[in-house]
DNA sequence: GCCCAGGTGAAGC
DNA sequence: GCTTCACATGGG
């Protein structure tokens, strides 16, 4: 039957795949000579970016590719998004430095669990923890010939059956009881993740913060990366640094004031703007000392 | 050794 | 209300 295949090409423009997959939204993508391998739901997939195109390869034939186009948000017009950003020097610099940076739309549970594990961890370490968790508790998925085994992200019910000691053995330290308690609340039906998508942003945030280990920052990450609430604006140490250095240099401004600033200054796609600031600060910091931009 | 990492929750003012 | 601290683990 035509249309059921293991490869497909997509045309795209203004999409920095490498930057997007490594920008601290998702933690499961592996690079191997210009190609990216990952698992989306139960689909193992390998992505080959080309000029103005993207070729995707799966292990087994798939009848449709909506799971992929949705995850990568291929239908989003990036110009339309960046046009809503405030026209100020920091945003212009951040956008110029990260052409084609995108937001993914991830599974809300994987996103929630991953970010519970993210607190005061570097992205490399989050990746290690998540990899261990998937190897030990995730269902194996079919991979292309000669590829290392791959696993789905473990479902809440599976993690709910684990012990705290078992989770700590995945190197997640003090985050283990948070992840376990949250998995149990979801597996038991006490908390309904699907319902979040139907709520106003602020209500959904308040609800998510009822989960153990979830404060405002992690709730905002899940709202933005897992549900697509475009106004959610996660403020981590890097974004805080960006706000202070780029918008309030040399001034003592309270966290609360900065939060209020983020709620009004960045427009309807504030979360998207936030990702540019985050990526800008991180990539700028990893460069050899450069003269500060006025 | 030291400081820091996509923080949170509890305890102390 | 706001500030301080403990919490595991590993990178630079």
Q: Where are the domains of chain A?
A: 5-75+106-226, 77-98+228-286
The pLDDT confidence band at residue A285, using thresholds 50, 70 and 90, is confident
Lowest-pLDDT choice from A31-35, A78-82, A172-176: A31-35
Q: A256-277 pLDDT, tens per residue?
A: 999 999 999 999 999 999 999 9
Q: Which nucleotide is nearest to A233 (CA to C1')?
A: B6
Q: Is the CB of A215 under 7 A from strand C?
A: no
**CA nearest neighbour of A257 among A248, A266, A270:** A248
- Which comes out higher in pLDDT, residue A287 or A137? A137
- Number of Cα atoms under 13 Å in the Cβ half of residue A165: 0
Strand B nucleotides with an atom less than 7 Å from a protein beta carbon:
4-9
pLDDT value of position A79 = 98
Average model confidence (pLDDT) across chain A: 95
Q: Is the CB of A174 under 7 A from strand C?
A: yes
Confirm whether A5-75+106-226 and A77-98+228-286 share one CATH topology: no
Q: Which nucleotide is nearest to A122 (CA to C1')?
A: B5
Predicted TM-score (pTM) of the model is 0.96
Q: CA of A75 vs C1' of C1, distance in Å?
A: 45
Q: CA of A274 vs C1' of C2, distance in Å?
A: 26
- In angstroms, the CA A264 to CA A228 distance is 18
pLDDT value of position A286 = 73
pLDDT value of position A252 = 86
Is A292 a residue whose pLDDT tops 60? no
Q: A226-252 pLDDT, tens per residue?
A: 999 999 999 999 999 999 999 999 888
Q: Give the CA distances from residue A205 to residues A208, A219, A274, in Å, rounded to whole numbers and listed in that order.
A: 5, 6, 17
Bridge partners, A276 (sequence order): none
Strand C nucleotides with an atom less than 7 Å from a protein beta carbon:
2-3, 7-12
User: In the structure, how many helices (H) and strands (E) does chain A have?
Assistant: 14, 7
**CA nearest neighbour of A223 among A241, A237, A238, A235:** A235
- In angstroms, the CA A118 to CA A38 distance is 19
Is A2 a residue whose pLDDT tops 80? no
Is A74 a residue whose pLDDT tops 90? yes
pLDDT value of position A85 = 98
User: Taking the C1' atom of B9, which residue's CA lies nearest?
Assistant: A213
Mean pLDDT of A123-130: 98
- In angstroms, the CA A139 to CA A270 distance is 36
Domain A5-75+106-226 has CATH 3.40.50.410: no
pLDDT value of position A221 = 98
Is A57 a residue whose pLDDT tops 90? yes
Percent of residues, chain A, with pLDDT higher than 90 = 92
Q: Write the DSSP string, A57-116.
A: EEEEEES--HHHHHHHTTT--HHHHHTTS--SHHHHHHHHHTTT-------HHHHHHHHH
**CA nearest neighbour of A8 among A40, A52, A48:** A48
Mean pLDDT of A134-154: 97
Lowest-pLDDT choice from A61-70, A118-127, A277-286: A277-286
pLDDT value of position A290 = 37
Is A294 a residue whose pLDDT tops 50? no
Architecture of domain A77-98+228-286: Orthogonal Bundle (1.10)
Q: CA of A184 vs C1' of B1, distance in Å?
A: 40
Mean pLDDT of A146-169: 98
The pLDDT confidence band at residue A216, using thresholds 50, 70 and 90, is very high
């Amino acid at each position: 039957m035509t249309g059921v295949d293991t490869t497909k090409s997509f045309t795209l423009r203004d999409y920095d795949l490498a930057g997007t997959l490594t920008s601290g939204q998702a933690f499961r993508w592996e690079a191997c000579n210009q190609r990216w391998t990952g698992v989306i739901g139960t689909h193992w997939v390998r992505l080959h970016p080309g000029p103005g195109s993207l070729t995707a390869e799966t292990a087994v034939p798939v009848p449709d590719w909506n799971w992929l186009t949705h995850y990568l948000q291929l239908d989003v017009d990036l110009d339309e998004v960046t046009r809503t950003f405030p026209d100020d020097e920091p945003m212009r610099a951040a956008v110029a430095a990260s052409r084609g940076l995108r937001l993914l739309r991830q599974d809300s549970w994987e996103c929630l669990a991953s970010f519970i594990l993210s607190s005061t961890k570097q992205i490399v370490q989050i990746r290690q923890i998540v990899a261990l968790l998937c190897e030990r508790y995730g269902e194996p998925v079919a991979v292309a010939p000669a590829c290392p085994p791959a696993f789905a992200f473990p479902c809440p019910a599976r993690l709910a059956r684990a012990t705290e000691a078992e989770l700590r053995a995945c190197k997640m330290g003090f985050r283990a009881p948070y992840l376990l308690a949250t998995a149990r609340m979801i597996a038991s039906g006490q908390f309904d993740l699907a319902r979040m998508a139907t709520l106003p942003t602020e209500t959904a945030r308040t609800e998510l913060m009822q989960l153990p280990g979830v404060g405002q920052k992690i709730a905002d990450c899940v709202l933005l990366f897992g549900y697509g609430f475009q106004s959610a604006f996660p403020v981590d140490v890097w974004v805080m640094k960006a706000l202070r250095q780029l918008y309030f240099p040399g001034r003592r401004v309270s966290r609360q004031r900065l939060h209020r600033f983020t709620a009004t200054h960045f427009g309807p796609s504030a979360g998207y703007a936030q990702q540019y600031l985050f990526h800008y600060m991180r990539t700028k910091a990893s460069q050899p000392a450069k003269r500060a931009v006025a």
